[in-house]
Amino acid sequence: MSADIAQRLHTREQVATRSRRARIVRGLGPLTAVVGIVWAVAQPWRLTLLHPHGQGLWWLIVEPPLYVVLVGVLFRFVVAPGLVEDMEAEE
C-alpha cells in the first residue's frame, strides 16, 4: 500500500470518527446563521433594506439580523476549524 493511499484512508477514518463535541462546535455557526435568517423573516420591519425610503447608508448596513448571519458564517469558517483541530489534538 502506498503512503498516499494510506494517508487518504487515515483522513477519511478521522472524519468519520469525529467526536460529538467537534460536531457540535462545527454546527454552531450554521445554526447561528439560520437563527439570523429566521429572525429576519419573523421581523421583516427590522430590515431597512426592504424599505430604504429616507434611510442613509448607515441604516442600510447596520441590520442586527444580518450581523447574526455574518457572525455565524465567520464562526463556521474562521473559528470552528481551529477549535475542532485543537479538540482533535487533545484526544
The number of beta carbons lying within 10 Å of the beta carbon of residue 40 is 19
Q: Are 80 and 25 in contact (CB under 8 A)?
A: yes
What does the alpha-carbon distance between residue 56 and residue 41 come to, in Å, rounded to a whole number?
A: 22
What does the alpha-carbon distance between residue 49 and residue 57 come to, in Å, rounded to a whole number?
A: 10
Q: Where are the beta strands (DSSP E) in the chain?
A: none
The mean pLDDT of 13-42, rounded to a whole number, is 85
pLDDT of residue 17: 57
What does the alpha-carbon distance between residue 20 and residue 91 come to, in Å, rounded to a whole number?
A: 12
- pLDDT band of 30, cuts 50, 70, 90: very high
